[in-house]
Amino acid sequence: MRRSTRRSRRSQGAALPEITLTPLIDTALTLLVIFMVTSPMLNNAIKVDLPKGNVKEDIGLQEDLVVHIDKKNHLFLNEQSIKSDQLVGQLKKKIGGKKNKTVYVKADKDINYGTVIELVDRIKVVEGIERVALATKKYT
């Protein structure tokens, strides 16, 4: 007798609540569009047009110390603006006594060659830096 009463209650119109997915999907798609629009802006915060090269020398290495120099000779250490006279001190602070560090120099192709060499020379003086790599853009 119990089974028949259960069936009769379901057939009488006791509806199960439904979850509408439309607002959830709308929100997810809106967030996706926002991330798609803002992510390229975050990656290209510093505008540096790298020279082209055939070899990508930094395969397998971590880019934990990157020095950018843009067309207007502005220096950046790990995407933070820095004055030229503070570079050595900030590099020493970032290294923190560790050894065998590599510093990547990403200089705009329109920068004077002498300026890049002076920058590399100042970086090489810092204790703990084993290599200074000049970044290039691979030919396509």
**What's 65's domain CATH number?**
3.30.420.270
- Residue indicated by tokens 């992510």: 39
Fill in the DSSP letter of residue 97: T
Check residue 75 and give its pLDDT.
92
Question: What is the rounded distance in angstroms from the CA atom of residue 86 to the CA atom of residue 84?
Answer: 5
First to last CA, the chain: 78
Mean local confidence (pLDDT), 122-136: 86
What was the pLDDT predicted at 30? 95
Query: Does residue 46 sit in helix, strand or coil?
Result: coil
Judge if 15 and 81 occupy the same domain.
no
pTM, rounded to two decimals:
0.58
Tokens of 18: 């439904």
In total, how many domains does the chain have?
2
How does pLDDT run across 16-70, given as a tens digit for each residue?
788 888 889 999 999 999 988 887 666 555 666 666 777 655 444 556 789 999 8
Q: Based on the fold, state whether residues 65 and 129 are members of the same structural domain.
A: yes
Pair (72, 26) in one structural domain:
no
Instruction: Please name the helix (run of DSSP H) or strand (run of DSSP E) that holds residue 9, with its range, or none.
Output: helix 2-11
User: Are 99 and 121 members of one domain?
Assistant: yes
